[in-house]
Chain A
């Protein structure tokens, strides 16, 4: 953890991601030809996201044994405040998660240094909706909304069952180390927010000490879930996964910001805690979910999101990267303040 030192170098790394679409097409064809052991043609290459240092491309590979829609992810998301995994490490986590039965896109291959494309991987391209507002509002997802909370419970139980040996490359981030990281970050921004000080005090005093650590997705929320009419299709964006308290994932999924206005449905804006907890407990073969521990991690999640908002606006204010979006996000911190107070009231 700690990719960004808060007061030091604030520059968003502008990593070089060379290759024009034409070059990328030729290079991908040679990589995939070796992988599939047959002649291939890459067609319809389009860039889906262009971060400062990370890219996502979609393309179709044409070959005699059948055409396939694929995704290329390359570079490293330098915009993740707490530090993202390298693409090679992320691919290894997804492989381990799919092997444990988690619905996630299958990895086709990880890029090798001699490919000349930097870090990255190719995965299958799945169809589905990821925009939270559509998932929460569109009539075509009405059935999905009924079953999503339970499906999330089962997917999370599968994630947390991944054998430690297959994810031993991941960093360990337990409750106390994460609290220390985010509290130091908050103080370094020098914005006096008593509500945050109260929350950190509470979190330090109530951090679970007897954590049995497992694989944690780290960003399991509405927005990183691919959904179809029938429900959950895939869990996406594994770059924040780590070894930690499994209840961290359940708490984060319930943070009010990820309910997108549907605050009466605590699980992602689509479900209730009981459905999530019961499905999780059954799939994980435990008697029940420790609701207090999930509440602790929900509070931690709101605090963490607040510190991320402070960071984003500071990237703008410090001049590292001027942007009206980053400036505006600074004024979302007050949303976190009110939610923190709500959770502290409920905890006492």
Chain B
């Protein structure tokens, strides 16, 4: 049985709207208002991850698997790649590797901070 609506991201969005619209305007102490904004930002990250996270983890395992010629979860393949770097089998002169890592870090930033300057250079709004 699927879990009832609102979905995970819809619930987080409802909380974001409540905090933003009703709580934040009531906070007069600048330090507390700042922390509330940080908290809201964290909730927005969680909302984006709940929508994109599963797909991006799958995408990561496919991309890393193809580069490493191996199979496994994103976690396993990251660990395998790190082993290869630490053993000196690959290094940063590998342009294909840097392209793979660029795509993966852009995907992380799409969740963590799509307003980041370097992210916007690659994916303008």
Q: Which residues of A contact B (CB under 8 A)?
A: 192-195, 197-199, 201-202, 205, 256, 259, 261-263, 324-325, 327-328, 331-332, 334-335, 337-339, 341-342, 344-345, 347-348
Instruction: Evaluate contact between B117 and A259: CB separation under 8 angstroms.
Output: yes
- CB closest residue in chain A, given B120: A263
Q: Is B20 an interface residue when CB atoms closer than 8 A count as contact?
A: no
A324 touches B42 (CB 8 A): yes
Q: In whole Å, how far is B52's beta carbon from the nearest beta carbon of chain A?
A: 13
B118 contacts A335, C-beta separation under 8 Å:
yes
Number of A-B contacts (CB under 8 A): 89
In the complex, which range does the number of interface residues on chain B fall in? 20 to 34
Chain A residue with Cβ nearest B93: A348
Contact in complex: A338, B105 (CB < 8 Å): yes
Q: Which residues on the B side are within 8 Å of A344 (C-beta)?
A: 92, 98
Most A CB contacts (10 A, CB to CB) among B35, B81, B92 go to: B92
A342 to B86, CA, bound (A): 21
A196 to B, closest residue via Cβ: B82
A338 touches B92 (CB 8 A): no
A338 touches B109 (CB 8 A): yes
* Residues of B in contact with A (beta carbons under 8 Å apart): 35, 38-39, 41-42, 45, 75, 78-79, 81-82, 85-86, 88, 91-93, 95, 97-98, 101-102, 105-106, 108-109, 112-113, 116-119, 121
Q: Are the CB atoms of B105 and A201 closer together than 8 Å? A: no
Specify the chain A residue showing the minimal Cβ separation from B86.
A197
CB <8 Å contact, A192 and B79: yes
Q: Contacts A194-B82, A197-B85, A325-B38 known; A331 to B92 CB distance under 8 Å? A: no
What residues of B have a CB within 8 angstroms of the CB of A332 in the complex? 112-113
Q: Are A201 and B106 in touch, CB under 8 angstroms?
A: no
With A263-B118, A331-B113, A334-B112 in contact, is A341–B38 under 8 Å at CB?
A: no
Quick check: A328 and B92 within 8 Å, CB to CB? no
Of the listed residues A259, A335, A339, the one surrounded by the most CB atoms of chain B closer than 10 A to its CB is A335
Contact in complex: B118, A348 (CB < 8 Å): no
Task: Write out the residue numbers on chain A whose beta carbons fall within 8 Å of the beta carbon of B105.
Answer: 195, 334, 337-338, 341
Tell me, in angstroms, the Cα distance from A339 to B118 when the chains sit together: 7
**Does B81 lie within 8 Å of A194, measured CB to CB?**
yes
Contact A197 B38, beta carbon cutoff 8 Å = no
